[in-house]
Amino acid sequence: MRDGQSIETDIATTMLDWYDRHARDLPWRTSAAELNSGARPDPYRVWLSEIMLQQTTVAAVRDYFHRFTTRWPTVDDLAAAPDGAVMGEWAGLGYYARARNLLKCARIVAEEHGGRFPDRYDDLIALPGIGPYTAAAISAIAFDRPETVMDGNVERVAARLYDIHTPLPAAKSELKARAELLTPRLRPGDYAQAMMDLGATICTPKSPACGICPLQSPCAARRAGTAPELPRKMPKTAKPTRRGIVYLACRADGAWLMERRPDKGLLGGMLGWPGSDWKDGAAGAPPVSADWSTLAAEVRHTFTHFHLVLTVRTATVDMGCAPETGFFIPNRDFRPSELPTVMRKAFDLCRER
């Protein structure tokens, strides 16, 4: 520790030095060089990236971020988009409540905030889809306000830095208190991104690269040899397996029978094939009378908390038929890329046959 500085200040300084040399070049990131030239981050791009990055890898987000910002360059553009267009563009990224809240939030910012994102934590967290992490991240990264971001990376770095063995989620409050003491007044946005970069590239969940870590000197877990086993977590319950049926009806003109799933619940707001519940045991009647055939292969898909095995049934139906549910999407408007992955898997099986 240098003269006149606390160990906390020293750690923050070390992280900023490391960030200046090793920051990753990401599409939504404003580089230190650009910031030094007076450029400011675009809060819209910071917000959009942070929503997409919730529980989602950088690799998965990249293309989605590019498509969204190309199609809707500003929050006003996004606010004016039809619901179905946004849900379709989000398809495949998962956690679809994020897309529904994204649109709600964009419309509030456009209509009630004049198209400008608020800069304060308390105002940001009041917006749909913005929780404690994202409010702090936007405030720090886009507006350089001294907020402490607590995501999985920072939790892991803090647990190791202070050798905290309390299992998550019980350890969250202690980890946050530790992390808050580290957040610097100078360049808090860069510091936040530095901590997350460190967690993503060096202080990784498995086999952390302690040998090249800028914090190896002050790290208590490194000293104790406990880094790889931290943070501890409560054991997870096993996933049950559920079953269901989907019906893929193709009309004589090539149109497909689909339905818009209700906003609440699994895959809410997304397009899907009519079918049974996935509660196990439910029969599920066909949406229209036809000569249905059952595919030999089944769809296997795993959600966050259960496995799903789907039986796929297909039929060709008449032009004049009147389904009990759903609507026909003309063949020229039908894009598998706008389906959630489990629904696209069912379509792919139907195609291969």
Q: How far is the CB of 196 from DNA (least distance, A)?
A: 4
Q: Does 57 bind DNA (CB under 7 A)?
A: yes
Question: Binding to DNA (CB under 7 A): which residues in 126-185?
Answer: 128-135, 137, 151-153, 156, 169
Q: Does 274 bind DNA (CB under 7 A)?
A: no
Q: Does 96 bind DNA (CB under 7 A)?
A: yes
Q: Which of 73, 205, 225, 228 binds DNA (CB under 7 A)?
A: 205
**Residues in contact with DNA, shown as a per-residue x/- string from 16 to 55 under the rule CB under 7 A:** ----------x--x-------------------xx--xxx
C-beta closer to DNA: residue 10 or 88: 88
Question: Binding to DNA (CB under 7 A): which residues in 230-269?
Answer: 233, 236-239, 265-268
Question: Looking at the annotation, which residues are catalytic?
Answer: 50
Q: How far is the CB of 313 from DNA (least distance, A)?
A: 20
Q: Does 58 bind DNA (CB under 7 A)?
A: yes
Q: How far is the CB of 216 from DNA (least distance, A)?
A: 19
Residue 351 phi, psi dihedral angles, 5° rounding: -65, -45
C-beta closer to DNA: residue 91 or 315: 91
How many residues make contact with DNA (CB under 7 A)? Answer: 58
For the chain, give the secondary structure using H, E and C: CCCCCCHHHHHHHHHHHHHHHHCCCCCCCCCHHHHHCCCCCCHHHHHHHHHHCCCCCHHHHHHHHHHHHHHCCCHHHHHCCCHHHHHHHHCCCCCCHHHHHHHHHHHHHHHHCCCCCCCCHHHHCCCCCCCHHHHHHHHHHHHCCCCCCCCHHHHHHHHHHCCCCCCECCCHHHHHHHHHHHCCCCCHHHHHHHHHHHHHHCCCCCCCCHHHCCCCCCCHHHHHCCHHHCCCECCCCCCCEEEEEEEEEEECCCCEEEEECCCCCCCCCCEECCECCCCCCCCCCCCCCCCCEECCCCEEEECCCCEEEEEEEEEEECCCCCCCCCEEECHHHCCHHHCCHHHHHHHHHHHHC
Q: Does 302 bind DNA (CB under 7 A)?
A: yes
Q: Does 59 bind DNA (CB under 7 A)?
A: yes
Q: Which of 14, 22, 94, 210 binds DNA (CB under 7 A)?
A: 94
Q: Does 15 bind DNA (CB under 7 A)?
A: no
Q: How far is the CB of 31 from DNA (least distance, A)?
A: 12
Residues forming contacts to DNA in the complex (CB under 7 A) are 26, 29, 49-50, 53-60, 92-97, 101, 128-135, 137, 151-153, 156, 169, 193, 196-197, 199-200, 204-206, 233, 236-239, 265-268, 301-305, 340-342
